[in-house]
Amino acid sequence: EENKEDDLTPESVEKPEQSPDKPEKVETAAEEVKFFRTKKIRFGPIDYQIVTQNANGPCPLIALVNALVLKGKIEIPPNYAINSKDLLNLLTNLILWRVPTSDDDVETYENNLRDVLTILPTIVNGLDVNVQ
């Protein structure tokens, strides 16, 4: 059986068709599409393609993606500029393929999935932290 996680590359993510009749919607800061360069690094004996930051500042999306790349959970193609929507699709696909097999864990998974899918788009620009 083929491992579903092995095919989580930007090319394997289905992209919605855009209708020429519909005007493009105005995007909020959380929906803003950002582009990131990638580069090859050697970590231990293995070469990995990681995402690089465009400007200084917090970017939990890049941190999360690069951690998953180094763990071998997702893969970014070499010499590839990738946008934030494709990175979010990679993360979403990874989460959706991780459905628990135990009925006892399904409700917890569904609650966590709902929370993650709500928060995920906001990690492109940083996290909103309430310290009160």
Q: How many domains, the chain?
A: 1
User: For position 59, what pLDDT does the model report?
Assistant: 87
Is 23 domain-assigned? Answer: no
Give first-to-last CA distance, the chain, whole Å.
49
User: For position 127, what pLDDT does the model report?
Assistant: 62
Q: Is the confidence at residue 97, as pLDDT, over 60?
A: yes
Is 110 domain-assigned? Answer: yes
Is 62 domain-assigned? Answer: yes
User: For position 98, what pLDDT does the model report?
Assistant: 85
Q: Is the confidence at residue 5, as pLDDT, over 70?
A: no
User: For position 3, what pLDDT does the model report?
Assistant: 47
Rounded distance, CA 47 to CA 65, Å?
16
The torsion angles phi and psi of 70, rounded to 5 degrees, stand at -65, -25
pLDDT band at 70 (very low <50, low <70, confident <90, very high): very high
| CB atoms closer than 10 angstroms to residue 104 | 7
Is 13 domain-assigned? Answer: no
Is 24 domain-assigned? Answer: no
Q: Let me know: does 109 contact 58? Beta carbons within 8 Å.
A: no
Rounded distance, CA 9 to CA 116, Å?
20
Containing domain of residue 79, as a range? 4-8+31-124
Is 21 domain-assigned? Answer: no
The torsion angles phi and psi of 86, rounded to 5 degrees, stand at -65, -40
Q: Which residue has the tokens 């990175």?
A: 87
Is 20 domain-assigned? Answer: no
CA angle in degrees (0–180, nearest 5) for 118-119-122: 120
**Mean of all residue pLDDT scores within the chain:** 78
Is 14 domain-assigned? Answer: no
Rounded distance, CA 47 to CA 41, Å?
6
Of 14-18, 39-43, 51-55, 75-79, which gets the smallest average pLDDT?
14-18
- Give me the percent of the chain exceeding a pLDDT of 70: 72
Q: Is the confidence at residue 100, as pLDDT, over 60?
A: yes
